[in-house]
Amino acid sequence: MAPVAEDAVSTLQIFNYLVAEQELRYQEFKRVGVENINEYNQMFSSCPIPRIVSVTDECFDLLSDTTYKDSMEMALMKLLAKAGAAGINIFLFTQRPDKDVIKPLIRSNCSGKIAFMVSRPEDSGIILGNPDDDRAASLLGGGDMLYKSPKGVMRLQGLYLGAKADFQALLDTCMTAHTDTPCWNSGLDFSSFNTLNSSNSGTSNEQLRNRLNKAITKSLVNQEAQDSFSSFCLNDLSKSQIISLHSRGYELHQIIQEVFKLSRADGRQYKRSATLRYFTIIIHCYCCCCKPLVRLITCIINYKYTKNA
């Protein structure tokens, strides 16, 4: 789903894409009333959400980059804290587990840790999260490892998958495997997450946050605007409610939120949605006998749409 990243810029691009994908998946979970990907896929087995695996090697070098380290740390902390439940699995590898480079928030949010044989006892303590745990320095090598999970530390033996050609054949088989089952698609475009080089990290971070927000908003509007607003119609109760709210001094956006039962999150979506143009048609159909009311709602729609277009 993305080319292999070979530098800090392209790695940050992937992380930003995964953060946006994560947020869209949580929006989908909220819409259907589930908490994680397992519950969602059980409910919608005919169109499940696919899992994503991100593997990052030599994260020490990436997090040492003076230009992009702040942005990468922020993205990693968001992913490690929430991505697991959204079906996005993050793997970080390094030969230098320096505690001054790989921050405690990143290490503590890793739900599982693997330590192979290390040369320094302090490296074992950094990986396993206990300064006094130096057991990784006593491992035998050749796949001998310690695996730490929330349940404790286990000593395991890693498997040898063969030469590079054998592993490549296995990888190609996995990549070419396909299924006829349609999968949920967030609609995000990976190419829209290009990272601009900037010497001012604060400005760069602000640009990245704005780009993420725009990408998420665009995808949400494309996916959910039609489903969210197509069912809205004005019956007699709604018309009475509008007149009552207007007479009580409610603001224009407050009337729309009350009548259409929109939350604050929904409000951010409908502001830029082109479906607002069709509300006027619906209102005219239901309110043709009340011209002041038609003018009022038309004013509301035009005001909100023009202001946020």
* Domain termination residue (choose one: 161, 192, 221): 221
Residues 274, 163 within the same domain: no
Kindly report, residue by residue over 157-173, the tens digit of the pLDDT.
988 877 888 888 888 88
- pLDDT more than 70, % of the chain: 64
What residue numbers bound the domain in which 272 lies? Answer: 233-308
pLDDT band at 284 (very low <50, low <70, confident <90, very high): very low
* Alpha helices for 44-146 (secondary structure H): 59-63, 69-82, 104-108, 121-128
In a domain, 125, yes or no: no
Amino acid at 13: Q
Q: Which helix (H) or strand (E) holds 205?
A: helix 201-229
The whole-angstrom separation of Cα 267 and Cα 246 is: 19
Please give the DSSP secondary-structure letter assigned to residue 50. Answer: P
* Domain termination residue (choose one: 170, 198, 221): 221
Residues 52, 167 within the same domain: yes
The whole-angstrom separation of Cα 246 and Cα 241 is: 8
In a domain, 267, yes or no: yes
SS3 91: strand
In a domain, 248, yes or no: yes
What does each C-alpha distance from 195 to 64, 138, 198 come to in angstroms?
18, 42, 9
Residues 206, 246 within the same domain: no
- Give residue 55's pLDDT: 93
Cβ atoms of residues 221 and 272 within 8 Å? yes
- Give residue 192's pLDDT: 75
The whole-number average pLDDT for the span 195-213 is 53
Cβ atoms of residues 209 and 201 within 8 Å? no
In a domain, 140, yes or no: no
Strands 144-149 and 152-157 turn out to be: antiparallel
Residues 160, 212 within the same domain: yes
Residues 37, 107 within the same domain: yes
SS3 144: strand
Residues 240, 178 within the same domain: no
- 289 or 294, which is more confident: 294
pLDDT band at 260 (very low <50, low <70, confident <90, very high): low
Triad 221, 224, 225: Cα angle to 5°: 60
Please give the DSSP secondary-structure letter assigned to residue 115. Answer: E
Query: Is pTM, for the whole model, over 0.85?
Result: no
- Give residue 217's pLDDT: 62
Residues 82, 198 within the same domain: yes
- The answer to whether residue 116 scores a pLDDT higher than 90 is yes
Q: What is the DSSP string of 12-70?
A: HHHHHHHHHHHHHHHHHHHHHT-SSHHHHHHHTTTSPPPPEEEEES-HHHHHT-TTTHH
The whole-angstrom separation of Cα 79 and Cα 91 is: 11
Residues 81, 22 within the same domain: yes
Kindly report, residue by residue over 17-75, the tens digit of the pLDDT.
999 999 999 999 999 999 999 999 999 988 999 999 999 998 888 888 888 888 889 99
In a domain, 74, yes or no: yes
The whole-angstrom separation of Cα 225 and Cα 277 is: 12
pLDDT band at 188 (very low <50, low <70, confident <90, very high): confident
Residues 175, 39 within the same domain: yes
The whole-angstrom separation of Cα 73 and Cα 65 is: 11
Residues 242, 213 within the same domain: no
Residues 177, 58 within the same domain: yes
In a domain, 227, yes or no: no
Q: How many domains does the chain have?
A: 2
Residues 244, 216 within the same domain: no
In a domain, 47, yes or no: yes
The whole-number average pLDDT for the span 284-303 is 50
In a domain, 194, yes or no: yes
